Amino acid sequence: MNLFEKEALIAQKAVELENATPEDIIRFAVETFPNITFACSFGAEDVVLVDMLQKISPKTDIFYLDTDFHFKETYETRDRLAERYPGIPFVEVKPEITPEEQAAQFGDELWKSNANQCCDIRKVQPLTKILSQYEAWITGIRRDQAPTRANSKKIEYDVKFGLVKFNPIASWTSEDVWQYIRDNNVVYNPLHDNYYPSIGCEYCTRQVMPGEDPRAGRWSGQEKTECGLHK
């Protein structure tokens, strides 16, 4: 099957499963693509998907990008999830260079002088490497998170990374996410309770005050709105 045929098939399934539940989409994903992984950032959307995966396909690989710059609460959330779901091997994926090596090569606080380059080194390059081992991946992106995500399909071919991408909760609202968390008593990052609706690296994330866009706290003061993982 060539790329055109593969994209056509995925587009067809995206239409067929648009109104399917996230659980049904996950079942289809893991049954159709056994060599699949879930990219977990430990945000609200992703802890929901961790819970779903543990109920549907507990052996599915889960990894996270450890940029070395996460909030301590993010690492604590990882540890609490591991306690809640014994047996999950949250695979740590790290950049090829340490923060100290990055500072030596590109200057201190690269996230201030060139945030795109910092994200590329600490997120995009490691993601590209880990995804090359799989034929499909699952993400927690939602359409209403940002204009750049508004056209995300539940199932799509990820041209950037060359594999099939599943976005099971793409049509969910933030309230849908939190309702699931409450109903299922899901572990979540406590920063969400302190005006952090979207949580990235500590140096590039600030609190979001009532009335602001939920992603206003990411790369505040810059034109940048995405780290480069999602088109």
- Binding-site positions for [4Fe-4S] cluster: 118-119, 201, 204
Task: Provide DSSP, 129-176.
Answer: HHHTT-SEEE----GGG-GGGTT--SEEEETTTTEEEE-TTTT--HHH
Question: Hey, what are 212's tokens?
Answer: 């602001």
- Three-state DSSP class for residue 70: strand
Contact present, 214 and 198 (Cβ < 8 Å): yes
Q: Which of 209, 227, 228, 229 is catalytic?
A: 227
Q: What residues pair up with 155 in beta bridges, in sequence order?
A: 166
| Binding-site residue set | 118-119, 201, 204
Q: How far is residue 125's CA from residue 79's CA, in Å, rounded to a whole number?
A: 25
Residue 40 catalytic? no
Q: What residues pair up with 165 in beta bridges, in sequence order?
A: 137, 156
Phi, psi at 205, each rounded to 5°: -130, 130
Catalytic residue numbers?
Answer: 227
